[in-house]
Structure 1
């Protein structure tokens, strides 16, 4: 009972008071990789990450050794690390997150597992052009949130004091990683309903390199926004499926018509495969 009350108090405080939280290094034994370390964030509002062999197998369907993979909305690295492990030390995983609090944990995860992964953490937002945003969250712990051009935002009332820079991903990659673009095989986007705008901003990249795309259909978005997300991806020559989780055994359902994406009222994952 005491443990429950203590945890409840910590969660209530985290919703009201901003503070730094430490990490705990957890270890997972994964098929073919041995022991993998992961820095879990001891924020009372954060769900601890568990890495599994089934998760690695999911990403291995699409990522091979030496690939360039991109995680937009990396958070602390719960998908960035598995993606990077599949790309291996000769590949590269770029992990973008504009949230300064989670970025500090992402940096720690990037430094782990030497010789098994190559993660480059990037504390930037992805936008159409270079600009600046506020990062806004619904809770003081900044566990989640989103970018906003103003301090008043639907994301919440807690605003990070310094502005966050946004960059055009195509220009960023061409300036810094042009030598790796021919290996660009996979991109995951998780940006609290902003996914379709990011996909539109990088449509040239997607048309040329045809990486597998994993994105979210945001539960709170309107049906019109969900249909637009489907259309934006489909017009680039992709087949779109719902999938339950990042797990090789998870349920997968192909979306045969554009209206299929509106069947779910909750936030769902979609996996988009380029048509042959």
Structure 2
């Protein structure tokens, strides 16, 4: 029986890897086939993916802050079309190498091998062992390799590049500093949507909380919403506790900020 299971698993892995090759989508070497299938089918973080499909329109400018290997970057590129623009930021060297492969030929997309923060120059960065999606600019007790990476402020980067319509931000506790570096963007009166992952433990290590992040953006005129099944907005929220219970998660929640 075990030998049959091994043969079936090997066949499934082969099919998924072949699918990924045809889709020109490269994955980290240790990614399980189930995660690959989710991304190849546009079903990774499905509720958030569904939301993006509703709010991103052709011609928009979208920022992917924490581009990782490019799942959302590729989605955004398709949604904004040839008249739109996507800028993806990823500081980790290995993730960036995959992001680069996964966006080759995407003429409306620019990728930047840089962290987004409240300063320009170099900052500390922590590569978490065995988890390419959890690297962070916030000191951590998890096994990690510390290195220096380049950083930029979104206000400076976007100064000559026009207005922003949608921002996706998933940088493992680095969100408060990134927000400080985009005061001009946040102070504009034009419509803007930000989809942000809020992770209580990472935010605590950064000296803040999800409630504080939500409150700071409410002061800028944003309303905060949970993201429900099918990409539907919840009633306005001031913290993520109820949203975490709804999603059955304890480590993070995705929140839509809308103005």
TM-score, normalising length: structure 1: 0.72
CA distance change for structure 1 residues 252 and 64 in 2, over 3 Å: closer, same or farther?
closer
CA distance change for structure 1 residues 244 and 79 in 2, over 3 Å: closer, same or farther?
farther
Q: Which residue of 2 aligns with 1:75?
A: 68
Which of the numbers 120, 128, 135 marks the counterpart of 2:118? 128
Does residue 167 (structure 1) correspond to residue 152 (structure 2)? The answer is: yes
Q: Is this contact kept in 1: 2:153–2:178, CA < 8 A?
A: no
Which of the numbers 204, 212, 215 marks the counterpart of 1:231? 215
CA distance change for structure 1 residues 111 and 202 in 2, over 3 Å: closer, same or farther?
same
Which of the numbers 158, 161, 181 marks the counterpart of 2:144? 158
Does residue 146 (structure 1) correspond to residue 136 (structure 2)? The answer is: yes
Q: How does 1:52-201 map to 2 (within 5 A)?
A: 52=42, 58-112=51-105, 118-139=108-129, 142-147=132-137, 153-154=139-140, 156-159=142-145, 163-174=148-159, 178=160, 180-182=161-163, 184-201=164-181
Q: Which residue of 2 aligns with 1:272?
A: 257
Aligned length: 232
How many angstroms apart in 2 are the aligned matches of 1:272 and 1:140?
A: 31
Deviation at 1:136, TM superposition (A): 1.5
Does residue 262 (structure 1) correspond to residue 255 (structure 2)? The answer is: no
Q: Is this contact kept in 2: 1:60–1:86, CA < 8 A?
A: yes
How many angstroms apart in 2 are the aligned matches of 1:173 and 1:24?
A: 37
Q: Is this contact kept in 1: 2:87–2:110, CA < 8 A?
A: yes
Q: Cα deviation per residue 1:88-131 (whole Å; 9 max; x = unaligned)? A: 1221110101111111111111114x5xx621111000121213
More strand by share: 1
Q: Is this contact kept in 2: 1:140–1:158, CA < 8 A?
A: no
Deviation at 1:66, TM superposition (A): 1.8
Which of the numbers 185, 195, 203 marks the counterpart of 1:214? 195
How many angstroms apart in 1 are the aligned matches of 2:144 and 2:208?
A: 29
CA distance change for structure 1 residues 25 and 89 in 2, over 3 Å: closer, same or farther?
farther
How many angstroms apart in 2 are the aligned matches of 1:252 and 1:38?
A: 33
**DSSP-derived class of the 1:159 partner:** strand
Q: Cα deviation per residue 1:127-156 (whole Å; 9 max; x = unaligned)? A: 2121312332231564531125xxxx3063
CA distance change for structure 1 residues 83 and 155 in 2, over 3 Å: closer, same or farther?
farther
Which of the numbers 31, 34, 39 marks the counterpart of 2:25? 39
How many angstroms apart in 2 are the aligned matches of 1:43 and 1:123?
A: 20
Q: Cα deviation per residue 1:177-222 (whole Å; 9 max; x = unaligned)? A: x2x413x210000010221321232122122144210001214244
How many angstroms apart in 1 are the aligned matches of 2:133 and 2:51?
A: 26
CA distance change for structure 1 residues 38 and 232 in 2, over 3 Å: closer, same or farther?
farther
Superposed CA RMSD: 3.1
